[in-house]
Amino acid sequence: MTIERAEAVEIEGIRKIDAGHSAIAIEFLGETAAFVLAESEVVFVPAKSDERRLRPHDGAILCSAADGQHLLTGGDDGRVVSIDHAGAIESIFMDDKSRWIDRLAARRGGDRAWSVGKQVFCRPVGAPEKIIQVPSSVGGLAFAPDGSVLAIARYNGVTLCELRSSDRVSELNWKGFHVDVTFSPDGQILVSTMREPTLHAWQLADKKDLPVPGFPTRVRSLGWTASGRFLATAGADRLTLLMFQAQDNPLARMPLLLAPYRHLVAAVACHPTKEIAAVGYEDGLVLLVRVPDGAEIMVKSPDGHLISAMRWNEIGTQLGVASESGYCRVFTMR
């Protein structure tokens, strides 16, 4: 995807959604926003038609992911469900013991993975389905950008599973529970969030551990900027941007710190083609922050309710925002 020059964006329209409950995640299928609610519903919000509500599980929704064409949800009923643009629901997995589906990952093109306890079920496109056993409960799942590897966060490290060329499994070890995991856009860096107020990072070519600064609180949200130069994170009273550039020591530079505020950052979402990050704070404030110069635009004023989820659509024309109060909006940008 072409990276555009970092320019300002303008809010062209706002779509209000009467969700009734907090959203735990927002996914996009083209120009349709899907708000995954904390109870048991998904609200589909097409750009040019009325919203509709779906109840894909016999119980609560615990996790979600999207591959561009389908929304995947995992529930406490032991099922993984696939939902298309039209709202058609298909059950694609049922645990034989009805155990909870803890984590989900999906990649454009159709690669999918989910976890149940210490087991990970992976369905890569064009390769056999795999069941991977790890030594502890799974903290998070992520596909490498090219789909060749699945990363599994766990207690005391991350397991890397090669999906297509071989069945080789390797380990990246670091003490503590790793909650979530992300690859850099070029696939060279792997970063995990932890239960402690810190991250851990590895340079994958040589499995070198990379030092990461600590945070005031646990990092619950992060994302790579469009250029891949920065990892934007929550967890502090400002937007924290870690720089992964120099080959000898990718974190030799101090983090770039933007948009300081009196409350902590709760959620971040990076624009897919511009060096702009949406930043949501614990009191409900949402800013758009331009990375090169720190310029700010207020998207939502504070209302005392933590921002629980944010997401851009694939081309950066829509931003979904949700808070713990049930506030759900889709902002149309230009």
* Four-point Cα dihedral 151, 223, 82, 76, nearest 10: 80
Tell me the pLDDT tens digit for each residue of 273-306.
999 999 999 999 999 999 999 999 999 999 999 9
| DSSP one-letter code for 303 | -
Q: Count Cβ neighbours within 10 Å for each residue of 269-285 and write b for 16 or more, e otherwise.
A: bbbbbbbbbbbbbbbbb
Domains, the chain, with CATH or none: 15-92 (2.40.10.480), 102-214 (2.130.10.10), 218-334 (2.130.10.10)
Confidence of residue 4 (pLDDT cuts 50, 70, 90): very low
| Distance in Å from the first CA to the final CA of the chain | 18
From edge to edge, which strands make up the β-sheet containing 71-75? 61-66, 71-75, 79-83, 89-94
The larger pLDDT score, comparing residue 8 to residue 293, is at 293
Tell me the pLDDT tens digit for each residue of 243-264.
876 555 555 568 999 999 999 9
With 60 as the cut, is the pLDDT of residue 67 above it?
A: yes
Q: Is the dihedral of CA 57, 61, 65, 71 positive or negative?
A: positive
pLDDT at position 126: 86
Summarize the confidence of residues 138-155 as an average pLDDT.
Answer: 97
- State phi, psi for 327 to the nearest 5 degrees: -65, 120
Confidence of residue 2 (pLDDT cuts 50, 70, 90): very low
pTM of the predicted structure, to 2 decimals: 0.93
Alpha-carbon gap, residue 101 to 93, rounded angstroms: 10
Alpha-carbon gap, residue 145 to 183, rounded angstroms: 7
Summarize the confidence of residues 101-126 as an average pLDDT.
Answer: 95
With 90 as the cut, is the pLDDT of residue 78 above it?
A: yes
Alpha-carbon gap, residue 157 to 194, rounded angstroms: 10
| DSSP one-letter code for 255 | P
